Structure 1
Amino acid sequence: MRTTTRIAGVLTGLTLALGGAALMAPAAHADIASCVNQVERELRGGEAPDSVRMACYVGLTGNHDQCVSDLARDGVTNATAVSACRVAPE
């Protein structure tokens, strides 16, 4: 295999890999938004504080129990905290 062909193949693979990562980044942000939106529904239109966003980020990383306890500490009911943290990593 010629060197130029090999380099072209590597660059193509790298481009596809980086492009896929870029497409996935907005989806992660949307998951946090879904979590925050559930909490804001409970607040009936009020904006969630930054601590809620941080708890949802913890849920996004897969730490469901910590997410629920952080939201409960912020005054969110247990049922809402559980359902909000469940949608974070999806």
Structure 2
Amino acid sequence: MRTSTRIAGVLSGLALVLGGAAFTAPAAHADVSACINQVERELQGGEAPEAVRKACSVGYSGEHEECVSGLTKSGVTNGTAVSACKVSIQ
């Protein structure tokens, strides 16, 4: 096999792999963002602190109770915390 053909094949495969990663990565971010946005709506335009971002990330990983606990410790009402954590795993 010629070197140029081999290089073209490797580059094509690499492009496919990286393209697939680009399509899957935003979906994970969107779920965490939805959780954060829900909390920010309660804060009426205020930006969510880092503790909220961490709690939403924990919620995305499937730890619903830990997510709710983290959000309520950050001053979010229980109702918003429960619904925001549900959104993070959908």
Q: Alpha-carbon deviations, 1:21-66, whole Å to 9, x = none?
A: 3211011111111000000011111111011000000001010010
- TM-score, structure 2 as length reference: 0.79
Letter in 1 for 2:28: A
Match of 2:38 in 1: 38
**Matched residues, percent identical?**
64
SS in 1 for 2:53: helix
1:77 & 1:52 partners in 2: Cα distance? 12
Match of 2:83 in 1: 83
Give the number of aligned pairs: 87
TM-score, length-normalised on structure 1? 0.79
> d(CA) in 2 for partners of 1:26 and 1:87?
15
What is the CA distance between 1:16 and its match in structure 2?
A: 4.5
> How far did residue 18 of structure 1 move?
4.6
Q: Secondary structure at the match of 1:24?
A: helix
Task: Give 1:20's aligned residue.
Answer: 20
SS at match of 1:39: helix
Partner residue in 1 for 2:56:
56
Q: CA deviation at 1:13?
A: 7.2
Supply the distance in 1 between the matched residues of 2:59 and 2:16 (Cα, whole angstroms): 29
